[in-house]
Amino acid sequence: MVEGSSGPARVGPTQPVSSAGNSGQFHRSLKLDPWSLPAQAGMSIVLLQGGRTEETLRLARQVAAREPKNATALFVAGIAAGRLRRRDEALTLIRQTVAIEPDDAQFQVALRHLEPTVGKP
């Protein structure tokens, strides 16, 4: 989720993830199937919410590499990259997200938030 935004994060276009309270669910799912894309995407959101930004970026990138049109994974990776002050990378990831889901308001807000900061220290 974008910092300061409200509402559930999403694992996929219609799969809400309410908060870090789902951590146990994702851990169990990943034990059963370590390659589960929905569980990995959900866990990346939990990690992001928990401030584990490097881990978030790594896991979200893994999901996006396996499923390049996973807007949620790209979005989470973009937010994590932004938090790590990797603005150019964040902008690229968020632009990819918007290209996949151009009508998503949350993705549009993140893009508008990042665009003025690219190239600035």
What pLDDT sits at residue 88? Answer: 93
What pLDDT sits at residue 5? Answer: 36
What pLDDT sits at residue 33? Answer: 53
The amino acid present at 79, given as its one-letter code, is I
Q: CB–CB of 39/26 below 8 Å?
A: yes
Tokens read off for 86: 């990797």
What pLDDT sits at residue 11? Answer: 41
What pLDDT sits at residue 41? Answer: 81
**If the chain, 121 residues long, is cut into consecutive pieces of 10 residues, what is the mean pLDDT of each piece?**
38 40 60 64 84 92 92 94 94 95 92 74 57
Domain 17-117 has CATH 1.20.120.1460: no
What pLDDT sits at residue 10? Answer: 44
Evaluate if pTM is beyond 0.75: no
User: By CB neighbour count within 10 A (0-12 exposed, 13-18 middle, 19+ buried), where does 52 fall?
Assistant: middle
The full set of domain ranges for the chain reads 17-117
Q: CB–CB of 82/114 below 8 Å?
A: yes
Q: CB–CB of 91/107 below 8 Å?
A: no
Residue linked to tokens 């589960």: 36
